[in-house]
Amino acid sequence: MNKPANIDRRSFLQGSFAAGVLIAAGSVCGCSASGDAQSSSGSASPGGASFDFDDSVKAATSFTAEANEAMYALLDFSDENELACAQRGLIVAPDCLEIVDDNGNVVWSQDAYGFLDGESPATANPSLWRNSQLNHLYGLFEVAKNIYQVRGYDLTNMTFVRGRSGWIVFDPMMSCECARAAYALICDNVEDLPVAGVVISHTHVDHYGGIEGIVSQEDIADRGIPIIAPEGFLEHAVSENIYAGNAMTRRAMYQYGVGLKPGECGRLGMGIGLTQSTGTIGFAIPTHYITETGETLVVDGVTMEFQLTPGTEAPAEMNTWLPELKALWMAENCTGTLHNLYTLRGAAVRDGNAWANYIMEAKSRYGADAEVVFQSHNWPHWGNAEVNEYLANTAAVYKFIATQTLMYLNQGYTGAEIARMIALPDALARVWYTRQYYGTVAHNARAVYQKYMGYYDANPVNLHRLTPQEEALKLVEYLGDVDAVLRRAKDDFDRGEYQWVAQITNALVFADPSNEAARLLCADALEQLGYQAESGTWRNAYLTGALELRMNHVIENAPAKGAGSVRTAMTTPMVLDYLGICLDSNGAQDLNFVANLDVVGDEPYVMTVRAGVLLYERSKLVEHADLTLRAAPIGLMAIASGDKATIANAVSIEGDASLVDELVRHMVSFKPDFNIVLP
C-alpha cells in the first residue's frame, strides 16, 4: 500500500506570517455529532423484542475499515502534484483562522478542521480525507504576476488581479465577513488598493454574496465601478433559489452537513471546499452583461476576453481569458473534483455534453498560449502542457458520463440501473482532480437520464406509485413479523450490507415512526455508508440522515443573514410567479377577480385570479378591474407574508380590499423543517 506522508499545515505555514485572525474557541470533535441525544442501553420494538441498538455515534466496522483501506491500492497516493499546486505561491497565512460577524458569531472556521493534520482514520475514505487536507491549506497565494488568490477563507476563492490603480476582483465569496477578511489580507500584505472592478462568473450565491464586504453600493454608484456578469445573471441569480428556495434550503442541510460538527466521524470537506460560510449575504446588480463569446473589455488597464458557457455548472456562467497575463480563469467549469450535473440540494439538471464542449472550446481558443489555469474553487495548475491536460481530462469525464449514459439508456436500461453500471475508464478514474469528492458518476449519470428521459422509467407500474409511507405500510403488512425483519436486518448489517439495511429499516420507520429499533439500525447503516463515501456531499447526506434518525426530529437551521437583499432585485414577473407558488389554488378555487397593478418603476400589469390560479400579463390598466394595487415589485411580495400591517405599508389598495384579504388567507408560508428520513 502506498500510503502518503501526512499533510501537516504547521509545516506548510513555516516561514509565513502567523497571526491569529479573530480567534474564538474551536470545536473539534471525535466520533460525535451536534445534537446527539443521551445514549440508551437498548431499544425495544413495538412487538416487545429487545434489540441492542443505541443512539450513539459508532466507530467504523471492519467492513468499512477494509473498504477504506482498499482505496490505497486503487489510487496513487505517492503522486503529490495536487499537493504541490495547492501549496504553490503561498505569501501569508494566519496560523489560526476564525472569522466572526459583528455580534461575535463564528461564520467561518478553519480551526475546526485542525484534526485533518492527522492520518486518515477508519471512519473516513482516505481519498476524501486527502482532498479535505488540501482544502485546509488556506491563505494568500500568488497565482502569476499581478494575479493573487485568497483561498480557504470561504467555500469559494477570491481572486485579485492588479489593475493600473486598483484590484479587479473575481467572485467575491459567499459572505460579506469572509470577503472583508480576504480583502484585508491582500491589502495588508501586497498592496492597499481600492476595488476597481468586479467580475462575477456565475449565478450561485457563493460567488457574489460577499460583494458588499469589499465595496458598498454607494462606491459602485459614485466611482462607477463596473460589475461584470454573464447574460442572464440577474434572472437566474434571483430566481434559481427563490421558486424552490425553501425545499433547496432544507435539502442543502443534507448536502452541506449543516448539523454536523467537523471531525473524524463528522463533516469533512466536500471537494470544492470545506463547507459554506454562514455570514451576511449581499447583492449588487451588474452594470455590464457579457452577451457573446469573444467580447473583450479593458478594466483599469487589464484586458479581459470572455467565453460564455450557459447551461454548464450554472444557467449563466462565463470563463475569462487574460491575454496579457497568459492566464485562463475557468470559473467553476473546472475544479479540483468531479462536479455535479445534478446537485443533491436540487436544481435544474446541467448539460454534461455542453459542459465538455465548452471546456474544449476554451482549450481551442486559449490553450496554445495559456500558462496557468485557475478557478473559483481549489487551486491553479501551471505550465502549458499541464493546463491543456487539465482541460482535456476534465472535459473527457463529463463527455464520458453524458455519452455513456445515453448509450446505456438506448439499450433500455433505467437511470437506477445505469447508476449501478457506469464507471469511469481507469485512466480517467485515477486522475486526482476528477475524483468524486463533490459530484459522483452515479448521480451524474442519473441526471443525464433525467435530462433526456425524465423521471419515468417506462414501467407502467411506476406511473402513479404509492407514497413512500403508503408503500411502507403495505410492505410491513406483507412482511408480517416486524421483529423478525429487524433480526434479519441486523444479520445483514453484521455482514456489511449497509445499503439494503438502510432501505428496509427506513421502510419500517415510514410504516411506524415509533419503531425506535428500526430508526437506530437505519442510522447505524447510513453512518457506515457515510464513512465509506468518497464524495463529501454523500458523506454529509448519510451522516445527517443518521443524526436526524437518532434525534428523531429535524435539525434546526439558521437562515443566512441578509439573504433578503437578493429579493429586492426581483422583477415584477418574478414576484408574481412567486405569489402564484405561495397560493394554495385548491383552497382558493372559488376565488375569482381581476386586479390592475400600477407597479412603481415598471410598466403596468393586470393580475387575474381564476379558480384560485394566479395569472398575469403586461398590459394597460383595464376598466373592469375589481381593484387596483399600487406598489414597487418587492412591495407586492408583502402579500405572501400574510401580515396585514406589512401589506398596508407596502401596497396601496383601491377598490374591493376584501379580495386581497381572501388572497392572503390562502397564501402558504414555507418553513425548512419538513422531514426527509422520517415520515
Residue 289: DSSP 8-state: E
d(CA 150, CA 137): 11
d(CA 423, CA 410): 17
Domains of the chain: 9-30+61-449 (3.60.15.30), 570-665 (3.30.1050.10)
pLDDT of 28 reads 29
Phi-psi region for residue 194, left (φ > 0), alpha (ψ -120 to 50) or beta? Answer: beta
Chain centroid to Cα 394, Å, comes to 20
pLDDT of 464 reads 96
For Cα atoms 252, 257, 263, give the angle at the middle one, nearest 5 degrees.
165
**Residue 444 and residue 538 in contact, taking contact as beta carbons nearer than 8 Å:** no
pLDDT of 34 reads 37
pLDDT of 472 reads 96
Cell of 468: 413512500
Burial class (CB in 10 A: 0-12, 13-18, 19+), 459: exposed
Mean pLDDT, consecutive 10-residue stretches, the chain (679 aa), reads 62 50 34 41 56 90 98 96 98 96 96 96 98 98 98 98 98 97 98 98 96 96 97 89 89 94 97 95 96 98 98 96 98 97 93 98 98 98 98 98 98 97 96 97 98 95 96 95 96 98 98 97 98 98 98 79 74 95 97 97 96 96 95 92 89 96 95 93
**Residue 337 and residue 439 in contact, taking contact as beta carbons nearer than 8 Å:** yes
**Residue 638 and residue 651 in contact, taking contact as beta carbons nearer than 8 Å:** yes
Helices (H) and strands (E) in the chain — how many of each? Answer: 25, 23
For Cα atoms 153, 156, 157, give the angle at the middle one, nearest 5 degrees.
70
28, 31, 32, 38: CA torsion to nearest 10 = -140
Name the nearest CA neighbour of 374 among 435, 434, 328, 305: 328
pLDDT of 36 reads 38
Half-sphere exposure of 606 toward its Cβ, with a 13 Å CA cutoff? 13
pLDDT of 42 reads 57
Q: How many other CB atoms sit within 10 Å of the CB of residue 397? A: 27
Dihedral sign for Cα 427, 123, 274, 503, please.
positive
3-state secondary structure of 653: strand
**Residue 328 and residue 366 in contact, taking contact as beta carbons nearer than 8 Å:** yes
Chain centroid to Cα 281, Å, comes to 15
Residue 41: DSSP 8-state: S
pLDDT of 566 reads 78
